[in-house]
């Protein structure tokens, strides 16, 4: 059930909010929003997202729920005060596993979004021809370094908000209440991790604009470059696009986990 629920929810949210994701990618692109396509072809790269969304979300939720139950239900972190630690560890492991699926689809998706004149298929062929299979995992480390802090903020906060609200009203939360908690937790995590998301996007897009480079720029160097070439407010384009997208993902996660309770 966790696999099917998480996969279906992930696919629905990813496809529904895909235009916002395209806008976010183009805002973070080093060549600038309008040169990256502006508002043209906002569904560029959607086949990659559609293919990877279901297995990515399913892999995360299976790993998260299994690890959480293993650590919490009679495990080493069964104590109430240790629950946030169990949630953090479970979310971190879930992200590491999910990124094995997410990163290849994210690389192709973002390169197509930043070059709307190309198709997903042509972008995939160009990546394999120029960089091989290894090129599909461009930015894996930076993605993990973004996703783990995101989960360390989102999931403990989400679980805490659910527990607090449930205690105050004296019964288990309704689905919409769990969804509100997830959306709020996702928005907070988005604000915290957006600088890392900018660096991750530019590492994934680096091959498109810098054909002479054989290796991706390090995360620290990329982040430093982002801060040097643009004013601070522009180097972290949080904006409504990223907050709306991740808030919806938080709602998705809340609904899925709610259905498993």
What pLDDT, in 10s, does the model give residues 221-244?
555 555 555 544 444 455 555 555
pLDDT at residue 107 tops 90: yes
SS3 readout for the chain: CHHHHHHHHHHHHHHHCHHHHHHHHHHHCCCCCCCCCCCCCCCCCHHHHHHHHHHHHHHHHHHHHHHHHHHHCCCCCCCHHHHHHHHHHHHHHHHHHHHHHHHHHHHHHHHHHCCCCCCHHHHHHHHHHHHCHHHHHCCHHHHHHHHHHHHHHHHHHHHHHHHHHHHHHCCCCCHHHHHHHHHHHHHHHHHHHHHHHHHHHHHHHHHHHCCCCCCCCCHHHHHHHHHHHCCHHHHCCCHHHHHHHHHHHHHHHHHHHHHHC
What are the CA-CA distances from residue 55 to residues 61, 111, 245 (Å)? 10, 21, 19
Mean residue pLDDT across the chain: 79
pLDDT at residue 206 tops 50: yes
Q: For residues 91 and 64, is the Cβ–Cβ distance under 8 A?
A: yes
User: Alpha-carbon Rg of the chain, whole angstroms?
Assistant: 18
pLDDT at residue 209 tops 60: no
Buried b (16+ CB within 10 A) or exposed e, 6-15: bbbbbbebbe
pLDDT at residue 132 tops 70: yes
pLDDT at residue 126 tops 90: yes
pLDDT at residue 137 tops 90: yes
What is the structure's pLDDT at 56? 87
């Amino acid at each position: 059930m966790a696999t099917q629920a998480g996969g279906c929810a992930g696919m629905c949210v990813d496809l529904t909010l895909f235009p916002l994701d395209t806008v976010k990618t183009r805002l973070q692109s080093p060549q600038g929003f309008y040169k990256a396509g502006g508002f043209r072809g906002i569904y560029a790269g959607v086949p990659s997202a559609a293919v990877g969304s279901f297995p990515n979300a399913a892999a995360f939720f299976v790993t998260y729920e299994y690890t959480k139950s293993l650590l919490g239900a009679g495990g080493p972190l069964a104590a109430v005060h240790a629950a946030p630690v169990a949630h953090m560890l479970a979310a971190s492991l879930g992200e590491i596993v999910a990124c094995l699926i997410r990163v290849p689809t994210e690389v192709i998706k973002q390169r197509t979004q930043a070059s709307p004149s190309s198709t997903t298929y042509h972008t995939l062929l160009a990546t394999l021809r120029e960089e091989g299979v290894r090129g599909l995992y461009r930015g894996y480390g930076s993605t993990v370094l973004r996703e783990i802090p995101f989960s360390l903020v989102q999931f403990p906060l989400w679980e805490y908000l659910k527990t607090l609200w449930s205690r105050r009203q004296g019964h288990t939360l309704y689905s919409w209440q769990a969804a509100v908690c997830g959306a709020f937790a996702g928005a907070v995590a988005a604000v915290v991790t957006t600088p890392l998301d900018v660096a991750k996007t530019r590492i994934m897009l680096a091959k498109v604009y810098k054909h002479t480079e054989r290796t991706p720029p390090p995360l620290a160097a990329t982040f430093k470059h982002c801060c040097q070439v643009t004013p601070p407010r522009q180097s972290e384009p949080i904006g409504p696009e990223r907050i709306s997208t991740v808030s919806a993902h938080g709602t998705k996660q809340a609904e899925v986990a709610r259905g498993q309770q």
